[in-house]
């Protein structure tokens, strides 16, 4: 087996909680007493543009929440969204440990909107861990599209057989495997550490 030289990580569900996934949206809808069905219809219309960086957070909120007057401020809603992001300290510690070892190119491949992605990179010190951020909002591609993984390989100039991608959803690993990369479906940090050891990491 080829030696692993690059580790690519999902962010939401691996290193941190998800940024604006179903559970985060449900929490916000309950907190601000919004109609779930009405919001869901509007969210589905714009989420692809939101995560591909075609529209920003203000535009997204204008189309999904603030298309009518609300008894709360836009800034309050944004602050609530940001506060939903929490770290997985064990997974972050493992990523920092591997980054500090200096043996691996460390990058992310993730689906996130620009405002939330930049907030999370800054808030949780991800720049000190990763050299490369292949985020959907930066590259205009989303997992599980194969082109986002291909772009990560091309930009980093890595050989697929020498790379491993870590994600918490099996659907996001299917195209990666077809490209020849190693994959790990993460359940928790302890399991991830053991699976990395099996790859010689």
Q: Quote the pLDDT of residue 136.
A: 98
Residue 103's pLDDT band (boundaries 50, 70, 90)? Answer: very high
Domain ranges of the chain: 6-18+86-198, 22-83
**Is 135 in a helix, a strand, or coil?**
strand
Residue 198's pLDDT band (boundaries 50, 70, 90)? Answer: very high
Task: Decide if pLDDT at 185 tops 90.
Answer: yes
Separation CA 154–CA 20 (nearest Å) = 28
DSSP state of 4: P
Q: Dump pLDDT digits (tens) for 131-178.
A: 999 999 999 999 999 999 999 999 999 999 999 999 999 999 999 999
Q: ∠ CA 129-130-135 to the nearest 5 degrees?
A: 135
Structure tokens at 162: 């020498």
* Overall average pLDDT of the 123-136 stretch: 98
What does pLDDT average to over the chain?
98
* Overall average pLDDT of the 98-111 stretch: 98
CATH superfamily name and code, 22-83: Putative phosphatase; domain 2 (1.10.150.240)
**Is 157 in a helix, a strand, or coil?**
coil
* Cβ neighbours around 101 below 10 Å, total: 10
Q: Which segments of the chain does DSSP mark as H helices, in order?
A: 22-32, 36-51, 57-64, 74-83, 89-101, 114-123, 136-139, 146-156, 171-178, 189-198
Identify the CA nearest to 11 among candidates 180, 199, 171, 169: 169
Q: Quote the pLDDT of residue 14.
A: 98
- Report, at the CATH architecture level, how domain 6-18+86-198 is classified: 3-Layer(aba) Sandwich (3.40)
Task: Decide if pLDDT at 22 tops 80.
Answer: yes
Structure tokens at 18: 């998800």
Residue 117's pLDDT band (boundaries 50, 70, 90)? Answer: very high
Tokens 């599980």 appear where? Answer: 144
């Amino acid at each position: 087996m080829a030696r692993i030289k690059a580790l690519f990580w999902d962010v939401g569900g691996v290193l941190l909680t998800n940024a604006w996934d179903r559970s985060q949206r449900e929490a916000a809808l309950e907190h601000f007493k919004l109609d779930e069905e009405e919001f869901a219809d509007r969210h589905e219309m714009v989420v692809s543009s939101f995560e591909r960086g075609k529209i920003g957070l203000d535009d997204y909120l204008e189309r999904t929440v603030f298309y009518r007057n609300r008894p709360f401020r836009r800034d309050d809603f944004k602050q609530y969204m940001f506060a939903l992001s929490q770290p997985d300290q064990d997974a972050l510690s493992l990523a920092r440990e591997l980054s500090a070892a200096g043996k691996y190119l460390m990058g992310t491949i993730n689906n996130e909107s620009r405002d939330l992605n930049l907030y999370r990179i800054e808030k949780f010190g991800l720049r000190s861990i990763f050299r490369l951020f292949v985020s959907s909002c930066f590259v205009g591609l989303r997992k599980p599209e194969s082109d986002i993984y291909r772009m990560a390989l091309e930009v980093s100039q890595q050989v697929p057989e020498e790379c491993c991608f870590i994600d918490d959803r099996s659907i996001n690993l299917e195209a990666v495997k077809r490209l020849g990369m190693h994959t790990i479906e993460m359940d928790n940090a302890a399991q991830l550490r053991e699976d990395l050891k099996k790859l010689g990491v």
